[in-house]
């Protein structure tokens, strides 16, 4: 086991023991929010610790068996050799499992996605190819038991789509489809080509994780500055002689709201908090939209033929993923939704990169 992975396991072990102690402390148990956070983290680390302890037990068994291999009894030495081999094989298997468990997890992996396909270079042929890509992803989603919902579509002049946006809902959709983002290139003879020449067209694909529905904003009281002042509006003698109006400043964002409509300071505060919550919600949704727009720009590039991640060559029945140098001669199968043949190697390559960083 390399030094980087061993160091990470030591850190996980120390943190796991710390969480065990914390979860037994009355102060933590009495704090619901802290208890839930600690319990969640404990649950995430527990599978790693379970495998790590099995690895340590196998390591101890291998060392004990090797000690017995120096005995004079030939039968005992043979048994010790077999036991050492079994323990070492188990260690190797568990080490691979530990490496996978230690890989950093994408927080969006379990989400559904918004799939966006846009015709790029190639005119009508690119629009037709966009339709082919939508069919491919729809077939793949059906095989996985995911739901597909068309959100918006702009039809192409001769068929297909200039732009198509769909929601694919299903657990783990993003973990599989995120590798599809980029420019897809097609090489084939268009139906309108009288001389049989191969044309090259392109479409861009963006895969955006579906964000959680935000139906409430938690407001930390420590983030608020609440000022009272005398109402300046109409309302009679009472509001003019008491500080019933409320001004609330949300310190992290600088958003300021006021309410002085009611004679009751309590009611004014409740209304001001409601207004603040609505404004914070609007700001959070806008931030998510901005992040999605940035993700989309990074994913799709310009739509030029040269910026491709994958090529679909119809005359040769070939699909080539240029990121990992993968070439498959199963074009028809892949276009009918057999994308696992492409996605599985991409995931393995991605895991290898993460393991190299971890090491």
pLDDT of 137 higher than 90: yes
Relative orientation angle of helices 32-68 and 74-102, to the nearest 10 degrees: 150
pTM: 0.62
DSSP 314-350: TTTTEEEETTTTEEES-HHHHHTT-THHHHHHHHHHH
Strands 255-259 and 245-250: antiparallel
Q: What is the pLDDT of residue 140?
A: 97
Mean pLDDT, the chain, rounded, equals: 84
Q: What is the pLDDT of residues 333-351, one digit of tens each?
A: 999 999 999 999 998 888 8
Task: For 241-282, give the secondary structure using H, E and C.
Answer: HCCCEEEEEECCCCEEEEECCCCCHHHHHHHHHHHHHHHHHH
pLDDT of 32 higher than 60: yes
d(CA 95, CA 89): 10
Q: What is the pLDDT of residue 359?
A: 61
Q: Which residue has the higher pLDDT, 308 or 128?
A: 128
Other CB atoms within a 10 A radius of the CB of residue 57 amount to 14
Helices (H), 103-246: 124-144, 173-177, 237-241
Instruction: Give the range among 96-105, 237-246, 299-308 with minimum mean pLDDT.
Output: 299-308
Q: What is the pLDDT of residue 259?
A: 77
C-alpha to C-alpha distances, 284 to 206, 218, 279, 296, nearest whole angstrom: 22, 12, 9, 18
d(CA 88, CA 85): 5
Q: Give burial (CB, 10 Å; 0-12/13-18/19+) of 319.
A: buried
Q: What is the pLDDT of residues 241-300, one digit of tens each?
A: 566 788 899 998 898 887 776 567 888 888 778 778 767 876 776 777 677 666 655 565
Other CB atoms within a 10 A radius of the CB of residue 40 amount to 9
Q: Place 307 in a pLDDT band, splitting at 50, 70 and 90.
A: low
Q: Give burial (CB, 10 Å; 0-12/13-18/19+) of 164.
A: buried
d(CA 243, CA 263): 9
Encode 297-312: b = buried (16+ Cβ within 10 Å), e = exposed. Answer: eebbbebebebbbbbb
Highest mean pLDDT among 74-78, 79-83, 156-160, 336-340: 336-340
> What percent of the chain clears pLDDT 70, i.e. is strictly above it?
86
Task: List the end-to-end C-alpha distance of the chain, in Å, as a whole number.
Answer: 10
Can you read off the two tokens belonging to residue 180?
A: 């599809």
Q: What's the average model confidence in pLDDT over 122-148?
A: 95
pLDDT of 185 higher than 90: yes
φ/ψ of residue 185, rounded to 5 = -115, 140
pLDDT of 204 higher than 90: yes
Q: In what order do the strands lie in the sheet with 199-209?
A: 147-155, 161-169, 113-119, 199-209, 182-188, 310-313, 318-321, 326-328
What is the H or E stretch that residue 199 is in?
Answer: strand 199-209
């Amino acid at each position: 086991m390399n030094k980087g992975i061993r160091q990470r396991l030591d850190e996980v072990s120390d943190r796991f023991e710390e969480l065990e102690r914390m979860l037994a402390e009355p102060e933590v148990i009495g704090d619901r929010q802290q208890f839930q956070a600690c319990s969640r983290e404990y649950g995430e680390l527990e599978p790693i610790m379970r495998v790590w302890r099995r690895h340590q037990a196998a390591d101890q068994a291998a060392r004990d068996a090797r000690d017995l291999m120096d005995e004079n009894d030939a039968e005992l030495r043979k048994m010790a050799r077999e036991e050492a081999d079994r323990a070492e094989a188990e260690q190797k298997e568990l080490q691979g499992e530990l490496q996978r468990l230690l890989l950093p997890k994408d927080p969006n992996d379990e989400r559904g996605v918004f799939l966006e396909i846009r015709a790029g270079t190639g005119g009508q042929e690119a629009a037709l190819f966009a339709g082919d890509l939508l069919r491919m992803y729809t077939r793949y989603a059906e095989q996985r038991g995911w739901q597909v919902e068309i959100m918006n579509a702009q039809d192409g002049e001769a068929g297909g789509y200039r732009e198509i946006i769909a929601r694919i809902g299903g657990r783990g959709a993003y973990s599989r489809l995120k590798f599809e983002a980029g420019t897809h290139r097609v090489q084939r003879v268009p139906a309108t080509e009288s001389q049989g020449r191969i044309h090259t067209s392109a479409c861009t694909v963006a895969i955006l994780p579906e964000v959680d529905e935000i139906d409430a904003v938690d407001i930390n009281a420590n983030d608020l500055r609440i000022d009272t002042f005398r109402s300046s509006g109409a309302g009679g003698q009472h509001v003019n002689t008491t500080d019933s109006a409320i001004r609330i400043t949300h310190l992290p964002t600088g958003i300021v709201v006021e309410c002085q409509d009611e004679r009751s300071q309590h009611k004014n505060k409740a209304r001001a908090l409601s207004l603040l919550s609505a404004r914070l919600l609007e700001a959070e949704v806008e931030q998510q939209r901005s992040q999605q727009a940035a993700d989309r720009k990074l994913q799709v590039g310009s739509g030029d033929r040269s910026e491709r991640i994958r090529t679909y060559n119809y005359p040769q029945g070939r699909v080539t993923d240029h990121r990992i140098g993968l070439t498959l001669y199963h074009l028809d199968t892949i276009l009918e939704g057999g994308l696992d043949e492409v996605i599985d190697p991409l995931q393995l390559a991605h895991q290898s990169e993460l393991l190299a960083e971890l090491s």
